[in-house]
Amino acid sequence: MRIRAATESDLPTLERLWRAFEAEVPEQAWLDVDEAEELREIGEIVAGEIALLAEDDGGAAVGFALARKAGSRLGRITDLYVAPEARRGGVAAALVQEAVARLRALGLEYVRLEVLASNKDARTVYTHWGFRDDELVLVASLDALAQRLTSVAGGASEGVVYVQTDDVAVVERAATAFAPRIGSHDTRVDDPANGWTAVRDAVASRDPAALRRLAKELSDRLGAVVLSVGVESGAVVRLVALERGSVMDEYLSVPEFFGPLPPGDVVAMAANPTVLGRLTGAEHAAIRAAAPTADSPADLPAPQEIVSAIVAALRLPPFER
């Protein structure tokens, strides 16, 4: 194998390798590659920057690298590709080694290389060579982003607390005693249905944190199973199941809607049919079907539909009255 500078006569070979490179890149809905512009840039780099070809012992081109000056101290590797049959033989490392030597000869001190976040194999190799994460580029669908930002900025929240008891008087005393602590003077306790008593509080319904506080207080005071079910920011559904004041399970329809979570926490935010089945007597399959999760609200049914499905699966009194 040898590494050599590419010349103008190598442009057809570079174009062929570049097209093979593009064919392997995972399709990105947002990426609109201007083929003519890309090929023009390759010609420009061959003419005045750093263009390298890797050839096998028979003289066949098996890879290429393109690099150029990007600042007074910074160089940039714009393209790096090795044909599949020549990989794992040190070709990429040899190309980058020669590119680095030529960039250093220009008096540069640093080099930048871009790679798709999804390309884990390449990222592992580059990290092994000595590259480190420096800048994170984020991409989002404008439609999904507009919907999400609208929800976060102005979406309404509403919720209900369900207590597993038929003793309305006990629930009323506990709820009305606690309500002033969240600034509420408008609490209504419905007649029981299916063994559950619904508590509807004006402040707690608008404030998800207050709703969860009310649920915890009622579960702790009454030693009962209590569920808080709510729509938050007009976009996601949260269900919290408590027993004797302790959280037994929590579900959020979009686990990372309010920010990134550790992978284990993302999994934990899916409804647990075993726990909810024990607490409510609902069927596991019904719970799984009623409480889906996704990366975005756009990938789920409307939150009110999810709430209705959860209420039906757990045989709770109506969410809205």
Is 214 inside a domain boundary?
yes
**Cα(168)–Cα(297) distance, integer angstroms:** 36
Number of structural domains (the chain) is 2
Predicted pLDDT at 33:
76
Predicted pLDDT at 190:
96
> DSSP letter string over 13-65?
HHHHHHHHHHHHSPP-TT----HHHHHHHHHHHHHHSEEEEEE-TTS-EEEEE
Predicted pLDDT at 148:
59
* 270 and 188 within one domain: yes
Predicted pLDDT at 118:
81
Is 138 inside a domain boundary?
no
Which residue among 113, 129, 145 closes a domain? 129
Predicted pLDDT at 119:
85
- Packing angle of the helix pair 35-48, 11-24 (nearest 10 deg): 130
**Cα(238)–Cα(211) distance, integer angstroms:** 11
CA distances from 290 to 232, 251, 257, 273, 303 (A): 17, 11, 19, 10, 11
Q: How do the pLDDT tens digits run along the chain, 321 residues long?
A: 899 999 999 999 999 999 999 888 776 655 677 889 999 999 999 999 999 999 999 999 999 999 999 999 999 999 999 999 999 999 999 999 999 999 999 999 999 999 888 888 899 999 999 999 888 888 777 776 766 566 555 578 999 999 999 999 999 999 999 999 999 989 999 999 999 999 999 999 999 999 999 999 999 999 999 999 999 988 899 999 999 999 999 999 999 998 899 989 999 999 999 999 999 999 999 999 999 999 988 899 999 999 999 999 999 999 987
* 51 and 169 within one domain: no
* 65 and 189 within one domain: no
Is 136 inside a domain boundary?
no
* 165 and 115 within one domain: no
Is 151 inside a domain boundary?
no
Residue with tokens 């083929």: 35
Predicted pLDDT at 73:
94
Is 135 inside a domain boundary?
no
Is 221 inside a domain boundary?
yes
Is 142 inside a domain boundary?
no
**Cα(61)–Cα(254) distance, integer angstroms:** 48
Is 140 inside a domain boundary?
no
The domain in which residue 228 lies consists of 156-313
Predicted pLDDT at 298:
85
* 240 and 197 within one domain: yes
Predicted pLDDT at 315:
97
Check which CATH number belongs to the domain holding 114 and give it: 3.40.630.30
Check which CATH number belongs to the domain holding 176 and give it: 3.30.70.1270
